[in-house]
Structure 1
Amino acid sequence: MKLFSTLAVKKAFDDVLLGEFTGRTGIAVDGVYDPTTQLMARIRAGERPDVMIAVTSAFDELNGSAVLDLSTKTAIAKTGVGLAVPPGAELPDVSTLDAFKRALLDARSVAYSRTGASGIYFARLIEELGIDKEVNARATVIDKGFIAHAVVDGRADVAIQQLSELRFVPDARIAGPFPAEVQHYSEFSAVAATAADGDAAAFLAFLTSDEARRAYEQTGLELP
């Protein structure tokens, strides 16, 4: 079975869920992990998964198409956005909006992606806060992947990404979530392809099981 999935759930899938699902059912899952925008680009280019997991709102783009059966759309998890710093670095105060802005402006370089949901939101947020020119003048902009690698290898000293994705890089230190007044949650849903068989239905059911919920919570995700 071919899976297209957002990076946000990859740790839960790699650590627990895919192995458990295959062990129970004998169904092997071939996963492709990319930001939602790039998964949508793959769909437009003609690629066809059996199941797709993406930001819930993104599926509106496919409404009326014959690619995915949107009646199967099932919300599985959500996550907020956070900051990570290099191993051994002092954790900056990000508990208030003023402290959060100061942490960004004091950083030698802030790493983020302009293709992932969190990076797209962050680019808009710093513009609204009036600090986009200062931050972007020395930003480390990454196409895709796990942004916290940039603070581990020295390219930046602050990484911005969804909290579940920051946890994928264990050497990075998570400073915390964005302050509540500027926090942004992304909800993720799973959808089966229009032509999918019973394997896809079994996988969707598994993704809302108690075991799946525990795996989400253990890897920085919250329940929708």
Structure 2
Amino acid sequence: MLKKSARHFPGQIVMFCAWAVSATLSTASAADLHVLASTALKPLFERVRPAFESATGDRLVLSWGASYGNAPDTLPTRLSQGEKADVAVMIREALDEQIAGGYLRANTVRNIATSRLGLAVHSGARRPDISDVEGLRRTLLGARSVAFSSGVSGKYVVSTLLPRLGIAERITPRSLVIDAPGLAGQALLSAQADVALQQMSELLAVPGIQVVGPLPEAVQRVSVIAAAVTSHAQQAQGAEAFIGYLQSLHTAQALKDSGFDPVVSP
């Protein structure tokens, strides 16, 4: 399998080699790397953290927040206020806004993965068929309550998904909005909702629920997750090594297991 990868994905191999060189150099001056990241990435980073720290000697200091918003704990607010950070990992559109504001280095931006919206139900519930739009519509209409986040995914549900399905007026009264960065799947565990809608990675982060799968492509919202070194990074070399590691073959399976689709860089 590895031999095939070397033949068919030369860009990935070059990228991995670049990360390996950076990691070797970083080990010589191990340091704390301060990372500001979207909350949806928490399960992934917890998976990859031990191997990265072992390979480089650097220690990841992780902090979570929403990619959008003006609240004190959101990533844009914290970047604008100069919070100590070497790298930011967030939704690409939000990251581009931070580059325009001068908080991130444009020449270090790398796309890491794509993320899709998914649906989950109680662990013991009958598994609904959401393979097409009509099946999704039936599932939502049959739910006593539908939970979703107040963040980007929930805004899409309210502004686009429900109107497109033609059921906004019927679902809105039985909607349960979970304040970001809270997880909609928790509402299933507490029996406050029958259905939860959120990014696949965030649904998979809640043990004890049944993640049915991603929404049909016709009504799907795909987000690109990207990373960049901050403008005031104290550990810029280590930050670039971490970004390279997130793009490497080492991390591809962890991305998939965490509900993301890896982005193959040329």
TM-score with structure 1 setting the length: 0.93
Percent identity among equivalent residues? 34
Deviates more, 1:62-71 or 1:136-145: 62-71
Select which of 239, 250, 266 maps to 1:200: 239
Tell me which residue corresponds to 1:11: 43
Tell me which residue corresponds to 1:120: 155
Deviation of 1:39 (Å): 1.5
Deviation of 1:68 (Å): 0.9
More helix by share: 2
Residue 174 of structure 1 aligns to a residue whose secondary structure is: strand
Tell me which residue corresponds to 1:155: 192
Residue 51 of structure 2 aligns to a residue whose secondary structure is: helix
**Matched residue type, 1:3:** V
Q: What are the equivalent positions in structure 2 for 1:84-163 lying under 5 Å apart?
A: 84-115=120-151, 117-124=152-159, 125-144=161-180, 145-163=182-200
Q: Which consecutive unaligned segments of at least 5 residues does structure 1 have?
A: none
| Structure with larger Rg | 2
Cα contact 2:80–2:103 (8 A) shared by 1 = no
Tell me which residue corresponds to 1:65: 101
Residue 261 of structure 2 aligns to a residue whose secondary structure is: coil
**C-alpha separation in 1, matches of 2:140 and 2:146:** 7
Residue 194 of structure 1 aligns to a residue whose secondary structure is: coil
Tell me which residue corresponds to 1:209: 248
Deviation of 1:149 (Å): 1.1
Cα RMSD of the aligned pairs, angstroms, is 1.5
Residue 170 of structure 1 aligns to a residue whose secondary structure is: coil
**C-alpha separation in 2, matches of 1:107 and 1:151:** 11
Residue 2 of structure 1 aligns to a residue whose secondary structure is: strand
Tell me which residue corresponds to 1:75: 111
TM-score with structure 2 setting the length: 0.79
Q: Figure out how many residues of one structure are paired with residues of the other and give that number.
A: 222
Deviation of 1:48 (Å): 4.1
